[in-house]
Chains A and B, each alone.
Chain A
Amino acid sequence: MQLNPTEISDLIKKRIEGFDMDAEARTEGTIVSIMDGIVRIHGLSDVMSGEMIEFSNGAYGLALNLERDSVGAVVLGDYKGITEGDTAKCTGRILDVPVGPELMGRVVDSLGAPIDGKGPVNTSSMNPIERQAPGVIERQSVDEPMETGIKALDSMVPVGRGQRELIIGDRQTGKTAVAIDAIINQKGKDVKCIYVAVGQKASSVAGVVRKLEEFGAMEYTIVVAANASDPASMQYLAPYAGCAMGEYFRDNGEDALIIYDDLTKQAWAYRQVSLLLRRPPGREAYPGDVFFLHSRLLERSSRVNADYVERYTNGKVKGKTGSLTAYPIIETQEGDVSAFVPTNVISITDGQIFLDTDLFNSGNRPAIDAGLSVSRVGGSAQTKIIKKLGGGIRLDLAQYRELAAFSQFASDLDEGTRKQLERGARVTALMTQKQYSPLKTAELAFTLFAANEGFLDDIEVAKVGDFEAAMLSYIRTEKAEFLDSLNESGDYNEEIASEMKSALEDFKSKGAW
């Protein structure tokens, strides 16, 4: 028999000393029925909505339906051992999760309990999982970029810190890959990341965690996982729990990035819970408040001003703004973006990244559809250089797609159209990017500059990828200082343009690709 770390005599002594021996007064009820993780309780006359309920087997529940003579609650976790006639106790606590920097590098469940086998998490504070989003007065406009390191995203659909950008697409179009790349790119940028996995295969989550560890991204990341085998109640709560953990960083004047992978499955889980609680079904059998389910969650991603942070931290953090950027993911069926949940989330978010099956299958990865992907305020948060150089790319690509479809039927094309098609093909080739290889701002600037200034025009389309790789490695070695200063400032002017131009001309004259 082995000793647990908690079984040290001193610890046990301290616990016995600190043990509260007073008689305890609480409200009790009787379980009338239990089925499919839903419990009906008679009694509990002064229970609050959203209060935690303790069952006799030690499991907790969440009171959701308060009716005249009964309370409908979901069991959080295992409902084995709860029987009809058992007592259920009020705890007087609204459901909360541990928050704080101690959680980083850990994998936890929807209640914040570690599930990675690395021992207990010793956090000092707890936050309720349902919180009101910051109000109008407390917000600050978005003016800092949240860079993903993906060429197509940073140039065409930029996202600012504090925004909500939806990643939407069919299954197997690389939605999670985009999100993971965004996390990996935050290395060394002092952005805390939270990855919320809802209703996914445990093996996929394990795969993501392994990848994040491999790229050294786990040290600034919290993974909140409610897998497909977890109860629906846990899957429904996981995004809120992750959001509470992200809000801690936002409220303390730091920047955080949260990924909800994916909200479709959360809506399914909520639908299950609602139907079992006998709430009336609406469109697609979702309950009436499925819009509010997502809007209240995504509204909590925001940029807050320094006053808010100062007030929240009681003056400990001064003059710093905080932000929580969200990348919710929605999975569509057969590209149907007009289904209920996708339209809801599209209307809540600040824009969407649309991933297309055909593009993915034809090898354009990430498979971002330039025409359908938009960002509502991201442009004002782009660095100057990317804004200047990336401006034309989106238009080029969107026009190219249309033109390419149209020109398939035309035998001879005029000079202008032919040029546009050739340029489009090169830009498309340039926008493909391998997974796990995010680009820095300056590197992206060089790539875009090469495309804009026609350095690619005499390169075969198939060679564009090689050309880019060779160019970047040349610049990384020959122009390291210039790259660093460009990354730092993000500025763009005549001087910088001419230096970039001469660097590219140098490289091209060597012809080493």
Chain B
Amino acid sequence: MSELTTVARPYARAVFEEAEKSNDLTKWSDTLGLMKAIASNDEVKALLQSPKMAKQAGAKAFLQLCGDELDGKAQNLVRMLADNNRLSLLPEISVIYEALKDEAEGSIEVLVSSAKKLTKTEESAISKALKKRLGRDVKLNVSVDESLLGGAIIHAGDLVIDGSLKGRLKKMTSAMAN
């Protein structure tokens, strides 16, 4: 996984710089999102791995799958990836691209999982507090996880803020055990 990230980074950076230059950040984001969805499909994965689909044959098949959603530049990207046998990297490229885009726009995507559905006021309170702490605009991505029992866990990149009842109970268990 970490090796994939390392390999995918130069592609993502190149796409990002190109998109920034032509002011197409959102469009590229959608395009990469689509390609990610297609490349993550199990059947597509199996298909691309077959030796028959090496190099340009793979690119052709992939472009067909995408239909006519892709513009010239995106098609070129697919052909180049196929040439280097890196089509399977598309999901990672998309993830890194999104991170670069968020960074450039000064925003960050935050996953919040809570035990109960959050109310609007709670959500805005969380995003306000996070904005203060992280110094960036916050895009909340909310989900419900009943196994937390109470409270919420916030994931922002590598940073995790654990305010869940489950986490506290676990912490208490280890404090009592030692």
Chain A residue contacts of B9, Cβ below 8 A: 69
Partner of A25, one of B160, B168, B171, B176: B160
Given A12-B176, A15-B176, A23:B2 Cβ within 8 A: no
Question: What number of A-B contacts does a CB cutoff of 8 Å give?
Answer: 54
Given A12-B176, A15-B176, A19-B172, is A26 in contact with B2 using a C-beta cutoff of 8 Å? no
Q: Separation in Å of the A302 CB from the closest CB of chain B?
A: 34
The answer to whether B6 touches A69 (Cβ under 8 A) is: yes
Supply 20 A–B pairs (Cβ within 8 Å), ascending by A.
Answer: A15-B175, A16-B172, A19-B175, A21-B168, A24-B162, A25-B159, A26-B162, A27-B160, A28-B155, A28-B159, A28-B160, A29-B158, A32-B1, A40-B2, A42-B1, A58-B174, A67-B2, A68-B6, A69-B2, A69-B3
Q: Judging by beta carbons under 8 Å apart, are A43 and B161 in contact?
A: no
Contact A32 B2 (CB under 8 A): yes
Contacts of A27 in B (CB 8 A): 158-160
Does B5 belong to the interface (CB within 8 Å)? yes
- Best-surrounded residue of A21, A25, A26, A68 (most CB of chain B within 10 A): A25
A27 to B160, CA, bound (A): 6
Binary interface encoding of chain A residues 45-73 relative to chain B, with 1 for a CB under 8 A from any of its CBs, else 0: 11000000000001000000001111000
Expressed in whole angstroms, the Cα–Cα distance for A70 and B172 within the complex equals 30
- Report Cα–Cα, A29/B159, bound state, in Å: 9
Q: Are B175 and A45 in contact (CB under 8 A)?
A: no
Chain B contacts of A32 at CB under 8 A? 1-2
Chain A, residue nearest B161 (CB): A25
Give the distance in Å from the alpha carbon of A26 to the alpha carbon of B163 in the complex: 11
Distance from B3 Cβ to chain A, minimum over Cβ atoms (Å): 8
Q: How far is the CB of B102 from chain A (nearest CB, A)?
A: 15
Q: Roughly how many angstroms separate A410 CA and B9 CA in the complex, as a whole number?
A: 80
Count of B interface residues, CB-CB < 8 Å = 22
Contact residues in A for B162 (Cβ distance below 8 Å): 23-26
Q: Which residues of B approach A to under 8 Å, CB–CB? A: 1-3, 5-6, 9, 151, 155, 157-163, 167-168, 171-172, 174-176
If A25-B159, A42-B5 are given as contacts, then 10 extra A-B residue pairs at C-beta distance below 8 Å, sorted by A number, are A12-B176, A21-B168, A23-B162, A24-B161, A26-B162, A27-B160, A29-B158, A30-B1, A42-B1, A43-B158
Bound state CA distance, A69 and B160, in angstroms?
18
* A25: chain B residues within 8 A (beta carbon): 159-162
Q: Is A44 an interface residue (CB 8 A)?
A: yes
With both chains docked as a complex, state the minimum distance between the C-beta of A6 and any C-beta of chain B, in angstroms.
8
Partner of B2, one of A12, A42, A46: A42
Of chain A, the residue at the smallest CB distance from B8 is A69
Contact A46 B158 (CB under 8 A): yes
A32 to B172, CA, bound (A): 28
- Inter-chain CA distance A276–B72, complex, in Å, is 45
CA distance A25 to B110 in the complex (A): 14
